[in-house]
Amino acid sequence: MWLITMTESTAKQPARRGRIFPDHILSPEELARRKAEREVFHQRCRAIFERVRPEYIEKNYGWYIAIEPDSGNFFIDEDIEVAHRKALQKYPNAKHCVFCLNESGATGTI
């Protein structure tokens, strides 16, 4: 019977630093452009939310509303995942934004 013992410990691999894909670096202009596009998209969704919130906040307080800004359609549900899924079923290739039907529209806790 052979007994194998480890007298030497294996060397710990050094932590790698840096980017995973160093050749995929976006320019500051591209980052700024994308940020501006996100802000415009959010403002469009927010405008629809502010328009419909007074009508639905009383009856559905705390529920979630998924808004697709190109069509102006929105989907309301008690569960955030269901509201999100409804928007994806109707508009599978479009972006949408989800708000909570409350005073601020915030969907989480800090």
pLDDT digits (tens, 9 = 90+) for 25-37: 889 999 999 999 9
The two most distant CA atoms of the chain are separated, in Å, by 81
pLDDT value, residue 4 = 61
Assess if residue 18 is contained within a domain: no
| Res. 103: pLDDT tops 80 | yes
Kindly state the percentage of the chain with pLDDT values over 70: 88
Q: Tell me the average pLDDT of the chain.
A: 87
Assess if residue 9 is contained within a domain: no
Cβ atoms < 10 Å from Cβ of 94 = 13
- What predicted TM-score, i.e. pTM, was given to this entire model? 0.73
Assess if residue 10 is contained within a domain: no
Q: How far apart are CA 84 and CA 74, in angstroms?
A: 10
Q: Looking at the 3D structure of the chain, how many domains does it have?
A: 1
| Domain membership of residue 58 as a residue range | 28-100
